Amino acid sequence: MGILLLLAVGGISFMAWVLSRQDAPAVLPLKPAYRRLLQQHSLYYQQLSPYNQKRFEKRVQQFINLKRFVPRNMPQVTAEMKVLIAASAVQLTFGLPNVYLRHFKTILVYPDNYYSTISKRYHKGEVNPWYGIIVLSWKAFVEGLADPGDSLNLGLHEMAHALRLENVVRNDEHSFLKPHILKQWTDESQLERQKIGEGQSHFFRQYAALDDEEFFAIAVENFFERPQQFWQELPHLYRTLSLLLNQDPLLVVKE
């Protein structure tokens, strides 16, 4: 679950920000069949209030509208695939003002792990900022949804990579992460990466020490899949990530 970096690019209240946000212009309502997919497969969606479920649905539909989903080594990208992939992006960006990762216009979907001719190895997913592409293995994506508490979620992981890149790409969506909070996150995460690199026992898996991007993506997985444990183990880091994303999964549960 890595990121293909082909170029260098340079307490909150959940309800408070919900009431102050403006969603995208009129979007057709989500189809009932799509809504059922969210009800069945998105624990995050299930925990939202009816009002916020409607907001979530609109964002899912808008994300689908803005992306080109391309099948690789399979006949088509199904409606289920589109909805659940979109839901992973919307979950991550739900606290942010109309962020749809617009730089990444294309999402390639493979049935299983795929071989990269560039890195010469197999991948589960990657983000390519040069071409504005997010690549996912559907098998690995589904496995990430199967256990909502194991902190292994390919969709969230790759969307987290895309989010960091989107923040610095010069388009209508750039600089949506507040700089002073992002700096605080960077400072705190470097300390935690150092601990992992030194072999200290840590809440995050070893791969988080690889670089800033992987640390952030793994933090996001834990933030949404193990928020209570994350908060107990690393309260300062949890709070900073909550401020950065402008949401708190623990407060969503208490809505």
Count Cβ atoms below 10 Å from residue 233 Cβ, excluding itself: 14
> Is 6 inside a domain boundary?
no
> Is 49 inside a domain boundary?
yes
Range of the domain at 25: 14-253
> Is 4 inside a domain boundary?
no
Average pLDDT over residues 198-222: 96
> Is 5 inside a domain boundary?
no
Average pLDDT over residues 202-212: 95
CATH number of domain containing 158:
3.40.390.10
Q: What is the pLDDT of residue 222?
A: 98
The Cα–Cα gap between 197 and 199 comes to 5
Q: Tens of pLDDT along 55-98?
A: 999 999 999 999 999 999 999 999 999 999 999 999 999 999 99
Count Cβ atoms below 10 Å from residue 194 Cβ, excluding itself: 11
| pLDDT of 1 higher than 60 | no
Q: What is the pLDDT of residue 170?
A: 86
> Is 9 inside a domain boundary?
no
The Cα–Cα gap between 2 and 123 comes to 8
Please say whether the beta carbons of 208 and 215 come within 8 A: yes
Q: What is the pLDDT of residue 174?
A: 82
Q: DSSP per residue over 138-184, as a string?
A: HHHHHHHHH-TTSS--HHHHHHHHHHHHHTTSSSTTTT-S-HHHHHH
> Is 179 inside a domain boundary?
yes
Left if phi > 0, otherwise alpha if psi is -120 to 50, otherwise beta: which for 201?
beta
> Is 7 inside a domain boundary?
no
Q: Tens of pLDDT along 9-52?
A: 333 334 333 433 444 456 778 999 999 999 999 999 999 999 99
Average model confidence (pLDDT) for the chain? 90
Q: What is the pLDDT of residue 40?
A: 95
Q: What is the pLDDT of residue 246?
A: 98
Q: Collapsing DSSP states into helix, strand and coil, what is residue 192?
A: helix
Q: What is the pLDDT of residue 67?
A: 98
> Is 149 inside a domain boundary?
yes
Burial class (CB in 10 A: 0-12, 13-18, 19+), 179: exposed
Position 41: which residue type? H
The total domain count for the chain is 1
The gap from C-alpha 210 to its chain's centroid, in whole angstroms, comes to: 19
| pLDDT of 212 higher than 70 | yes
